[in-house]
Structure 1
């Protein structure tokens, strides 16, 4: 259900100061007390406020914002050779970082909403149908007639590693600051917000600023080296920054894990979570002075396809955080979800579950 700009601002003000009087709210928003009373009645009618005590309806869902695309995976039958024809097998499946994370979260048992944009085409129909089957709430998905559904084509080596990736993500340029503002009530009502950097720079900046001002937990995945650059220099407002070592090293100019994490925290991120493939996961927190880096080793795993492991790690970690677990324990859940996904030919393993990840964590980290 959409909200007007004033309704969104009033809801945010009430959320921040639930005991404020109508007069105080009017002064804050620059409108008359009578206008505030009228709009409070509207918010009550729409279900965003419960009763006369201005109790804001709490939405316990995790909100994922960002890419939802169709993935085309070409698996080479022999090691790839550039500038010539290479024999391969092909398949098409659902993808997109935010969408992948949302599906994994739903499979892990979290109430999850996805805010993304797709075209008005057959690819969107397939994408929406498959995602809805996993249990993700798609009631806020936007279908645009101005652009086609995003696609990502991955060429994989016979051993399952990525040889080349090609993306058509122009439609996500529409997820700008105005788009974020139009969905600000949805953001404000989430228990936790996750975003990927498929959003343009101004959309990310708007989201980060709002979450900082309203003290909403926000996790962001940097996605790739070029897209990392879309994040503002000031990352205060980002509760959890996910990245891999290649992305972080290219962005910070550092090479050693401790120096990389220090550089990311210096930009204002409250926590930095960096993956480095088989070398493990590195964690650091802003409130640790001096910064104490934690390293989690990754057990050896059977690898069928690496393409969905990073998104599964993010989802597993967010799942743990949503259960109020410390970051190090949540990251152990992430490693378990990633290792489970490495054994699947799909970006999202249909067998992923809380029980499977819990069992993995107990066997390898306790």
Structure 2
């Protein structure tokens, strides 16, 4: 039997409520479509894809002790995720995310991740109390981290001895939270997964291509970056090398979760021993398959 590789997924695990329509939409549109409720959040989306690729995700997040939280934890367990180290709050409700998508892409979204933010550093307890590691014997495996955490907590993680030995992979939750990743750019301590807009926000400029964005982030101090640009070429780069590849052309039927799928597929590919070029190609293929609607939500 092939050994399942462990990875920590730290960040938002919540309920996604997504409305999708085949129609083009604008502000004020009222159109027919489908509304679904599924486990979501950046950390959850990454964990689900990692599990499909044969990895064993452990979730570090905050989930309420309400009915929605109990249901969410059971859903995580059914997908093969370790949930016993999740911070379960008695007084904080389970977080939710709501989005509306049309044929022309994401129309609007609201992320209600206040419970995760309120829990703060409590979700990191297993990395310091010995359950997963401590300051003296830090966790030395893969960590996927999302930018839904507070700025102060992300700053703590960027310099914490508890993460000193980890292979840390970080993504913003959205362009609006991209600047929260600045501590990881400044500390040169993680691999960053961003899109072209997010790279521009981190560098306080605009880039025409993912390769330009990757160079800009490295110049600012980033250790390693992966920059995507929709259907245009994506780039993976560090101080030694830069690789750009164009994703497969597909009909886009959904967008929420595409970046998380790309990140997870890339991590899984590298964990299986793929070369840098092959890992990037596999991640682009996985993201293209996802947005085309050919894989389970």
Q: Same fold (TM over 0.5)?
A: yes
Aligned to 1:148: 93
Closer, same or farther in 2 for the Cα pair 1:319/1:168, shift >3 Å?
A: same
2:189 aligned with 1:238: yes
As a proportion of its length, which structure holds more helix?
Answer: 1
Match status 1:277 vs 2:230: yes
1:163 paired residue number: 107
Query: Structure 1: how far apart are the matches of 2:105 and 2:212?
Result: 27
Judge which range, 240-249 or 230-239, deviates more: 230-239
**1:213-264 CA distance string (max 9 Å, x none):** 7332100002212211222345335331000111112332131334422231
Offset of residue 178 of structure 1? 5.5
Aligned to 2:63, what secondary structure does the other structure show? strand
Distance 1:175 1:264, change over 3 A: farther
Correspondence 1:65 to 2:10: yes
Q: Structure 1 residue 92: deviation in Å?
A: 1.0
CA contact (8 A) 1:220 1:241 kept: yes
1:250 is aligned to 2:215? no
CA contact (8 A) 1:64 1:114 kept: yes
| Range 321-330 or range 205-214, more displaced | 205-214
Q: 1:8-28 CA deviation, whole Å, 9 max, x = no partner?
A: xxxxxxxxxxxxxxxxxxxxx
Q: What TM-score, normalized to structure 2? A: 0.86
Structure 1 residue aligned with 2:214:
261
Match of 2:116 in 1: 172
Alignment of 1:33-52 (within 5 A): none
* Shift in CA distance, 98/234, structure 1 to aligned 2, threshold 3 Å: closer
C-alpha distance 206-123 of structure 1, shift in aligned 2 (>3 A): same
Unaligned runs of 5+ in 2: none
Q: CA deviation at 1:272?
A: 0.7
CA 1:323–1:150: 2 relative to 1, 3 Å: same
Separation in 2 of the partners of 1:300 and 1:255?
22
What corresponds to 2:25 in structure 1? Answer: 80
Change over 3 Å in CA distance of 1:268–1:147 after alignment to 2: same
Which stretch shows the higher mean deviation, 263-272 or 241-250? 263-272
Q: Of 281, 305, 311, which residue of structure 1 is paired with 2:260?
A: 311
**When the two structures are aligned, how many residues end up with a matched partner?**
285
Contact 2:248 2:285 (C-alpha < 8 Å) held by counterparts: no
> Partner of 2:182: helix, strand, or coil?
coil
Displacement, 1:96?
0.4
| Residues 234 and 219 of structure 1, relative CA distance in 2, 3 Å threshold | closer
Please, what TM-score do these two structures have when normalized by structure 1? 0.71
By how many angstroms is 1:212 displaced? Answer: 8.7
How far residue 211 of structure 1 moved from its aligned partner, in angstroms, is 6.1
Aligned counterpart, 1:14: none
Partners of 1:273 and 1:198 lie apart in 2 by 19
Deviates more, 1:92-101 or 1:245-254: 245-254
CA contact (8 A) 2:87 2:123 kept: no
User: Structure 1, residues 315-336: CA drift from partner, whole Å, max 9, x if none?
Assistant: 1000012123333221222112
1:93 deviates by: 1.0
Q: 1:302: Cα distance to partner? A: 3.5
The answer for the alignment partner of 1:218 in structure 2 is: 168
Aligned with 2:177 (options 218, 222, 227): 227
Report which of the two has the higher share of strand. Answer: 2
Deviations 1:299-351 (A, max 9, x none): 11233322222111111000012123333221222112212322338xx727x
> Partner of 1:42 in structure 2?
none
Cα RMSD for the two superposed structures? 2.4
Q: Tell me the residue number matched to 1:30.
A: none
- Alpha-carbon distance, 1:179 to partner: 4.3
| Deviations 1:121-145, CA, capped at 9 Å, x for gaps | 2221222222211111112112112
